[in-house]
Amino acid sequence: MSLHQILRRILWVTCGCGLTLTPLLAQEARPFDQNHAAWTEVLRAAVRDGGFDYALVKKDRAKFDGYLAALRAVTPAELAGWTKEQRFAFWINAYNAFCIQRVVDSYPLKSIRKLDGAFGITSVFEKPFIPLQAHHPDGKNEELALNDLEHKILRVQFKDARLHAAINCASESCPPLRNEAFVAERLDAQLEEQMKAFVNDPARNTIDPAKGELAVSEIFKWFEEDFERDAKSVKEYLVRFAPAEKHEFIRGAKLRHRDYSWDLNDVPQK
């Protein structure tokens, strides 16, 4: 008999037959919510106008902090038993949630890059602060950084360039946050929608045959190898998501990259 079973039997005898288990054990037995419902509640309330209402979340953090606690409670053994889609959704949502936590903890601020190390030697994305030590990709008993989630877990384990339209770096030029959690059952459709919306977003990518202009986000430069892996070239990746009438233009036009704005993707405060 396991220790857990022994404790349950002791509790049953002590409390008397017919009484329910204590809230602690009931909570322990509750599985992780694969619908990420708490995260969707936060996003539905705070995502609007292409930005995120950090002030709203900072004012009332209960639901948000509860979701972060649920992420921290997932063990490596539990995660290993999930489907690939469940794990992919988990890490996308974790990246976005912990990135928002990093901003909310220091809010108000003008840019997440204000949290870089002195003289910009260490970027905020390289700083360990995520308490998921048991999941460290290098096997270290250390907190993770956002770059660990992106470059050592998401990009390595799942090899899907659409993730670059799904994770958000709390900046204006980053693909906007979706107003719902990513979930395994709809993950492929959600990723497809995110990348299609990003490629065709004139605020972040210009694909204008009339003006002869093809100017795309620096994301397509920073992660060029991911897009080339999935579609042979950045241009062919753009073709996958752009309207058919722009395909010939994309393939023949000179490609340049737009300047990236690191200003916080905050919504205007009333």
Average pLDDT over residues 198-222: 98
Q: Where is pLDDT greater, at 117 or 158?
A: 158
Asked if residue 267 belongs to a domain, the reply is: no
SS3 of 106-123: CCCCCEHHHHCCHHHCCC
Asked if residue 195 belongs to a domain, the reply is: no
Asked if residue 32 has pLDDT above 70, the reply is yes
Rounded to whole angstroms, the Cα distance separating 152 from 43 reads: 26
Residues 86 and 182 occupy one common structural domain = yes
Residues 172 and 233 occupy one common structural domain = no
Asked if residue 229 has pLDDT above 80, the reply is yes
Which residue range(s) make up the domain with 19?
1-30
The pLDDT assigned to 65 comes to: 98
Residues 38 and 104 occupy one common structural domain = yes
Residues 16 and 36 occupy one common structural domain = no
Single out the residue of 16, 18, 133 nearest to residue 72, CA to CA: 133
Residues 37 and 107 occupy one common structural domain = yes
The pLDDT assigned to 30 comes to: 77
pLDDT above 90 coverage of the chain, percent? 86
For 49-108, the pLDDT digits (tens) are: 999 999 999 999 999 999 999 999 999 999 999 999 999 999 999 999 999 999 999 999
Asked if residue 266 belongs to a domain, the reply is: no
Residues 225 and 138 occupy one common structural domain = no
Asked if residue 60 belongs to a domain, the reply is: yes
Asked if residue 206 belongs to a domain, the reply is: yes
Mean of the per-residue pLDDT values of the chain: 91
The pLDDT assigned to 28 comes to: 53
Q: Which of 188, 221, 241 is the last residue of a domain?
A: 188
Residues 77 and 89 occupy one common structural domain = yes
Q: Which of 188, 209, 226 is the last residue of a domain?
A: 188
Residues 23 and 37 occupy one common structural domain = no
> ω into residue 31 within 30 of 0, thus cis?
no
State the pLDDT confidence band at 179, using cuts at 50, 70 and 90: very high
Cα atoms found within 13 Å of the Cα of residue 211, Cβ hemisphere only: 6
For 117-153, the pLDDT digits (tens) are: 887 779 999 999 999 999 999 999 999 999 999 999 9
Residues 184 and 251 occupy one common structural domain = no
The pLDDT assigned to 12 comes to: 35
Residues 171 and 209 occupy one common structural domain = no
Asked if residue 184 has pLDDT above 70, the reply is yes
Q: Which of 161, 188, 215 is the last residue of a domain?
A: 188
The pLDDT assigned to 20 comes to: 39
In this structure, what token pair is assigned to residue 231?
């579609």
Residues 243 and 170 occupy one common structural domain = no
Give the number of domains in the chain: 3
Residues 135 and 36 occupy one common structural domain = yes
Asked if residue 220 belongs to a domain, the reply is: yes
